[in-house]
Homo-oligomer: A and B are copies of this chain.
Amino acid sequence: MDDSLVPFFKPRGIVVIGVSTSEGKLGHGIARNLTNCGFPGPIHFVAQRGGSLFGRPVHTDLAQVPDPVDLAILAVPPAATPDVLRTCGSRAIPAAIIVSAGFREAGDEGARLEALCLDIAHSQRIRLLGPNCIGIIDTHLPLDTTFLQPPMPPKGNIGFVSHSGAYCAAIIDWARGQGFGFSQVASVGNQADVTEVEMLAAVGADPNTNVIVLYLEGVSDGRRLVAIARELTPRKAVIALKVGRSEFGHRAAASHTGALAGSDRAYDAAFENCGVLRASTSAEMFDWARAIALCPAPAGNRVAILTNAGGPGVVAADAVALNGLSMAVLGEKTRRDLTDILPPSASVRNPIDMLASATPGVYAESLQTIAKDGGVDGVILILPPPPMFRAEEVAAAVLPVIRAAGKPVLVTLMGSALTAVAHDEFTAARVPVYAFPEAAVSGFAALVRRTAPLSSTLADLLPPQVSPTIETLDSMSAEDLMASCGIASARSALARSASEAVTAARELELPVVLKVVSADIPHKSDADGVLMHLQSEREVSEGYERLLRQVRARRPEARIEAVQVQHEIAGGADVILGVVRDPDFGPLLMFGSGGIEVEAMQDVAFALAPVSDEGAGRLIRRTWAGRRLAGYRSVAPADEEAVVNALVRLSWLAHQHPELAEIEVNPLRVQPAGRGAYALDVRIRLTDATPANQPIGTRTVA
């Protein structure tokens, strides 16, 4: 982490400015929590009225506070904040938390105040956390700068970085009821200065944290988030809940790629790239975090289910399939040993149903037998209120076995009053407990996904030989651009009369396709602007006139520039390749089923550009269009290598040329293996930032 953040987490001394004796005031809560949390360094209070609070003097002036002070917590009204910050600067305090609300989130006046605070912080070399945040908790140091209701969360290994203070408060209290704790909690509020990306790095550097949970409403610097997460995730798990998913498709888009690449797709691609596990609900986020924080890494995805009743076992088995995990096949010795332990009508195949009569001892022995099986990577232990014993007796019997297992054992403890004591025993022993089998299996699935290797890092990637080196895209033809990506274009020529079309067709070789060329018609087929399979010169000649007639009928207002005559490439698989520039994460590469039904079929996948050969292969296989390239029933294998090559080069083109806003090849017609692929239609849009300073519109291959 950045050294400038150290004072937030390891301050040599802290001052709270704006403490209050009235309960209910933020400055009261902060003073109370800081006093009670057990922070090992000096704590000082400042307030205009002076006096004393929680056994400490309240200074009336920051100047009275003795050195060292590394962290100031400001609980003063927004209007007073700039002056107080200046005083902190004059005391050379390197870090400040602004707790109060009433800044940018409250309107223009607040935004001006926030900007002023940031100016002061910059000039005085103060790092700012907030405003409008609840600050920082470290349960191990310990440190608690928040005003939340006591007690602090219990100690744990989960770090939590959140854009929402209320979410922090709610989650801390909820987690208490679930029996798990946190290592560090950091609320970044309006992040005038310190952002969630910096906080991810800081919490990631904490030795007591092994899982970091992110509640994100956006991202301050997407590529930096990816870089920091890539560094972290091989050592520590990162789980994110990215909210605002429903704001799809708010961008103007001239291509299928653009229309599909909502910011949510960009987050998916970014998280996939850097190994961040994306949770879909609040509960799932912590179901996963508990499993990863408390369990050893599994060697594979083979699950054994141990239960004393059939029903929950079937529910768990369903969840195993739905999560893409495998049901472990028990070894013969395991089954034999289980037969010795269990009654004759028990099931010694996975799910292992010990029957309702299972004693605590039977639970423990069975678990031990299963955990020893080399074909089992993890166990879901299911414990509904046992009819003949107390759940806590079972907990006591299985806990030593779980500790010694060396494999993940996730407990489904179903009930409340009848299982409350067992719940406490499991959680005290740091065993993850779930109310239902589905959540436990989801936790194990997260453990397995966590072990997946990252795709090659950007640093490992070598750009492919793109020759010649392109200086500006502005004056390049689409054909040359395709050629620079190793993509052949179907041979074509422009015609402005039927006879020109016939001549062109003769040169290009029949059959041909005719397409209208008009800047007013971005989607040619929507305007009846395409004629295919023209087999003879007569058909070409008649086709030319027919094409113009039908386009004019549909779009009387469009200015028709010419008719493109294109040699028709027979057969092959049509796919779409595209790049679009995401405002947060930069160039995104798209691959999928091409044609005119791209948005309807939704058979597309995205990756951050650039990609390696292996990354392109992974992207391809995430779609049906891509899996089909390898051959399907009577469909022969297509030239997947040509597609990989095209994707890699296209991704580097986008990476190296920020002036490229969108490029889309639709369709790319992929020939049988070894015979390449042809771009049949290409759209290109440059950003405003290019020398030409405006989009150049749609350029077809010509």
Contacts of A322 in B (CB 8 A): 245-246
Question: Within the assembled complex, what's the spacing in Å between the Cα atoms of A308 and B166?
Answer: 8
Q: Give the nearest-CB partner of A383 in chain B.
A: B170
* Pair A173/B416 contact, Cβ less than 8 Å: yes
| Contact of A1 with B by CB under 8 A | no
Question: Within the assembled complex, what's the spacing in Å between the Cα atoms of A106 and B355?
Answer: 10
Which one, A33-41, A201-209, A631-639, A646-654, is touching chain B? A631-639
Q: Which of B147, B149, B281, B387 contacts A169 (CB 8 A)?
A: B387
Interface string of A295-318 (1 = CB under 8 A from B): 000000000000011111011011
Contacts of A173 in B (CB 8 A): 385, 414-419
How close is A242's CB to chain B, nearest CB, in angstroms? 9
> A173-B419, A416-B174 are known contacts. Are A106 and B283 too (CB-CB below 8 A)?
no
> A282-B437, A311-B163, A315-B243 are known contacts. Are A633 and B596 too (CB-CB below 8 A)?
yes
Q: Which of B107, B171, B321 contacts A246 (CB 8 A)?
A: B321
| Contact of A244 with B by CB under 8 A | yes
Question: Within the assembled complex, what's the spacing in Å between the Cα atoms of A308 and B321?
Answer: 40
Interface string of A484-498 (1 = CB under 8 A from B): 000000000000000
The residue among A315, A419, A527 with the most chain B CB atoms within 10 A of its own CB is: A315
> A322-B246, A345-B106 are known contacts. Are A166 and B282 too (CB-CB below 8 A)?
no
| Contact of A695 with B by CB under 8 A | no
* Pair A310/B164 contact, Cβ less than 8 Å: yes
Q: Give the nearest-CB partner of A416 in chain B.
A: B177
| Contact of A251 with B by CB under 8 A | no
How close is A626's CB to chain B, nearest CB, in angstroms? 12
* Pair A388/B243 contact, Cβ less than 8 Å: no
Interface string of A417-455 (1 = CB under 8 A from B): 111000000000000000111110000000000000000
Q: Which of B106, B415, B624, B628 contacts A174 (CB 8 A)?
A: B415
Contacts of A177 in B (CB 8 A): 415-417
How close is A23's CB to chain B, nearest CB, in angstroms? 10
* Pair A309/B167 contact, Cβ less than 8 Å: yes
Q: Which of B101, B110, B344, B632 contacts A597 (CB 8 A)?
A: B632
Q: Which of B317, B416, B438 contacts A176 (CB 8 A)?
A: B416
> A169-B387, A387-B147 are known contacts. Are A217 and B345 too (CB-CB below 8 A)?
no
Contacts of A525 in B (CB 8 A): 633-634
Question: Within the assembled complex, what's the spacing in Å between the Cα atoms of A479 and B308?
Answer: 56
Q: Give the nearest-CB partner of A437 in chain B.
A: B282
Question: Within the assembled complex, what's the spacing in Å between the Cα atoms of A476 and B335?
Answer: 54
Question: Within the assembled complex, what's the spacing in Å between the Cα atoms of A344 and B165?
Answer: 20
* Pair A312/B635 contact, Cβ less than 8 Å: no
| Contact of A459 with B by CB under 8 A | no
| Contact of A234 with B by CB under 8 A | no
| Contact of A375 with B by CB under 8 A | no
Question: Within the assembled complex, what's the spacing in Å between the Cα atoms of A164 and B320?
Answer: 20
Question: Within the assembled complex, what's the spacing in Å between the Cα atoms of A314 and B216?
Answer: 11
| Contact of A462 with B by CB under 8 A | no
| Contact of A523 with B by CB under 8 A | yes
* Pair A245/B318 contact, Cβ less than 8 Å: yes
* Pair B283/A436 contact, Cβ less than 8 Å: yes
Q: Give the nearest-CB partner of A168 in chain B.
A: B311
Question: Within the assembled complex, what's the spacing in Å between the Cα atoms of A246 and B174?
Answer: 33
| Contact of A614 with B by CB under 8 A | no
> A147-B387, A345-B106, A356-B101 are known contacts. Are A312 and B166 too (CB-CB below 8 A)?
yes
| Contact of A544 with B by CB under 8 A | no
How close is A213's CB to chain B, nearest CB, in angstroms? 13
Q: Give the nearest-CB partner of A110 in chain B.
A: B345
How close is A428's CB to chain B, nearest CB, in angstroms? 17
* Pair B217/A311 contact, Cβ less than 8 Å: yes
Question: Within the assembled complex, what's the spacing in Å between the Cα atoms of A309 and B525?
Answer: 48
Question: Within the assembled complex, what's the spacing in Å between the Cα atoms of A101 and B310?
Answer: 13
Contacts of A174 in B (CB 8 A): 414-416, 435
Q: Which of B282, B436, B527, B634 contacts A596 (CB 8 A)?
A: B634
* Pair A309/B356 contact, Cβ less than 8 Å: no
Q: Which of B106, B246, B283 contacts A318 (CB 8 A)?
A: B246
Q: Which of A383-413 contact B (CB under 8 A)?
A: 384-385, 387-388
* Pair B321/A245 contact, Cβ less than 8 Å: yes
* Pair B633/A166 contact, Cβ less than 8 Å: no
> A177-B416, A318-B246 are known contacts. Are A345 and B632 too (CB-CB below 8 A)?
no
| Contact of A600 with B by CB under 8 A | yes
| Contact of A162 with B by CB under 8 A | yes
> A356-B101, A597-B632, A600-B628 are known contacts. Are A167 and B311 too (CB-CB below 8 A)?
yes
Question: Within the assembled complex, what's the spacing in Å between the Cα atoms of A528 and B162?
Answer: 59
> A315-B282, A385-B173 are known contacts. Are A600 and B632 too (CB-CB below 8 A)?
yes
* Pair A318/B632 contact, Cβ less than 8 Å: no
How close is A271's CB to chain B, nearest CB, in angstroms? 16
18 contacts between A and B (CB under 8 A): A106-B344, A107-B344, A107-B345, A110-B345, A164-B310, A164-B311, A166-B356, A167-B384, A169-B384, A173-B418, A174-B414, A177-B416, A245-B321, A281-B436, A523-B633, A527-B634, A596-B633, A600-B624
Q: A101-B356, A164-B311, A178-B416 provided; 17 other pairs, C-beta below 8 A?
A: A101-B355, A165-B356, A170-B384, A170-B414, A174-B435, A176-B416, A176-B417, A217-B310, A244-B314, A245-B321, A283-B439, A523-B634, A525-B634, A596-B632, A596-B634, A597-B624, A600-B624
- Residues of chain A touching chain B, judged by Cβ–Cβ distance below 8 Å, are 24, 29, 101-102, 105-107, 110, 147-149, 162-167, 169-171, 173-174, 176-178, 215, 217, 241, 243-246, 248, 281-283, 308-312, 314-315, 317-318, 320-322, 344-345, 355-356, 384-385, 387-388, 414-419, 435-439, 523, 525-528, 596-597, 600-601, 624, 627-628, 632-635
